Amino acid sequence: STLLEVRGLTASVKETGQQILAGVDLTIREGEIHAIMGKNGSGKSTLTKVLVGHPHYEVTGGTILFKGEDLVDMEPEDRSLAGLFMSFQAPIEIPGVSNFDFLLMAVNARRERSGLPALGPLEFYSVVSPKVDALKMDPKFLDRNVNEGFSGGERKRNEILQLSVIGADLALLDEIDSGLDVDALEDVANAVNGLLTPQNSVLMITHYQRLLDLIKPSYVHIMENGKIIKTGDSSIATQINEGGFKSIALV
């Protein structure tokens, strides 16, 4: 069934009123993997930020339904609790909060919402530890403050650790491949693939074919000037890789 249904979505920068999204239509069903490609500045990151309710943007028209619920007036925290996860192109640092505590809080907030008892630190450690290993991360990461002093690659792995611990019905992954070497990219892609089930979905933004070779999209969308102007299968990505965006026929 349909997980996300975006219709005619327009959005502006709150402070200046500058329109960025100019009528986005996008449907994502359970179990699908979608990729968005597009030139720099076409509005890809803004779309994902608007979907999660980033406070810098204002929705000025259109609708966003997630599992049939209207997201537009929902707080970011509630969107996340409803099953929407976002990795940030530049992940934020959270001073004074360890990774471990951050993850435990996030997991317990979700358990509470489902009427489950909170996990204690020891119980949680046994949940999180194999996931740290699977991502080939140093267990010391759990004691460090969220993203503080992490290298680009460490941040990306940490984002995927968050996703694998917290879980999501729809994960929005904005350039998780940026700044990763080939081995790290493979670890991250394997982790994402390991999370996929027939019920959950991924929307990933990327410039690179190599990510799409590792996480195979059901659909590839091209974004330009705040709209999705073309949708097709993964052959679009191959075409862009070989001939650039100009090689894509728009009709």
**Footprint of Mg ion on this chain (CB under 5 A)?**
44-45
Burial annotation 61-88 (CB, 10 A radius, 16+ → b, else e): ebebbbbeeebeebeeeebbbbbbbbbb
Q: Can you tell me which of 6, 24, 43, 171 binds ligand ADP, judged by CB under 6 A? A: 43
* Residue 56's binding partner out of Mg ion, ligand ADP, none, with CB under 5 to 8 Å set by partner kind: ligand ADP
According to the binding rule CB under 6 A, does residue 87 interact with ligand ADP?
no
Check: CB of residue 1 under 8 Å from CB of residue 184. Answer: no
According to CB under 6 A, which one of 10, 12, 45, 147 is a site residue for ligand ADP?
45
Choose the binding region for ligand ADP from 26-34, 41-49, 113-121, 210-218 (rule: CB under 6 A).
41-49
Q: Does 40 interact with ligand ADP (rule: CB under 6 A)?
A: yes
Give the span between the Cα atoms of 173 and 202, in whole angstroms.
7
Q: What is the dihedral of CA 163, 224, 2, 176, to 10 degrees?
A: -10
Residue 47 CB, nearest distance to Mg ion (Å)? Answer: 9
* Smallest distance from ligand ADP to CB 12, Å: 9
In angstroms, rounded to a whole number, what is the distance separating the alpha carbons of residues 158 and 206?
18
Binding site for ligand ADP (CB under 6 A): 13, 18, 20, 38, 40-46, 56
